């Protein structure tokens, strides 16, 4: 429940960037999505500190955010190489 909005923001920014029909703008929105992902990670750490989420569950979710960041960065790299 607590993490729904930032996680929605990540996917929404990817979709918006893709809809702009410009690799440069898509790359920009992927950067915004990475920022939203960093916000999500921060909020998750705060939830754990406040005892709203267990360490084991936090660990699993942080692994997923790390994988998502790798995918977004790979997509950015791919866009850059097609524009060079």
CATH number for 50: 1.20.1440.60
- Are 25 and 41 a contacting pair, CB within 8 Å? no
Q: What is the pLDDT of residue 3?
A: 57
- Are 46 and 76 a contacting pair, CB within 8 Å? no
Domains contained in the chain, number: 1
On whether residue 84 sits in a domain, the answer given is no
Distance in angstroms (rounded) separating the CA atoms of residues 13 and 25: 11
Q: What is the pLDDT of residue 51?
A: 95
On whether residue 28 sits in a domain, the answer given is yes
CA distances from 25 to 52, 76, 80 (A): 37, 11, 11
Q: What is the pLDDT of residue 2?
A: 53
Q: What is the pLDDT of residue 4?
A: 60
CA distances from 84 to 23, 30, 59, 66, 76 (A): 11, 18, 38, 27, 13
For residues 24 and 7, which has the higher predicted lDDT (pLDDT)? 24
Q: What average pLDDT does this structure show over 1-27?
A: 86
Q: What is the pLDDT of residue 82?
A: 77
Q: What domain range is 43 assigned to?
A: 4-79
- Are 29 and 35 a contacting pair, CB within 8 Å? no
Q: What is the pLDDT of residue 7?
A: 81
Q: What is the pLDDT of residues 28-76, one digit of tens each?
A: 999 999 999 999 999 999 999 999 999 999 999 999 999 999 999 999 9
Nearest to 40 by CA among 12, 61, 16: 61
């Amino acid at each position: 429940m607590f993490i729904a909005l930032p996680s929605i923001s990540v996917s929404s920014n990817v979709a918006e960037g893709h809809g702009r029909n410009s690799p440069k703008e898509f790359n920009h929105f992927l950067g915004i999505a990475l920022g939203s992902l960093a916000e999500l990670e921060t909020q998750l750490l705060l939830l754990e500190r406040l005892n709203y989420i267990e360490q084991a569950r936090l660990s699993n979710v942080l692994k997923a955010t790390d994988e998502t960041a790798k995918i977004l960065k790979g997509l950015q790299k791919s866009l850059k190489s097609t524009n060079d």
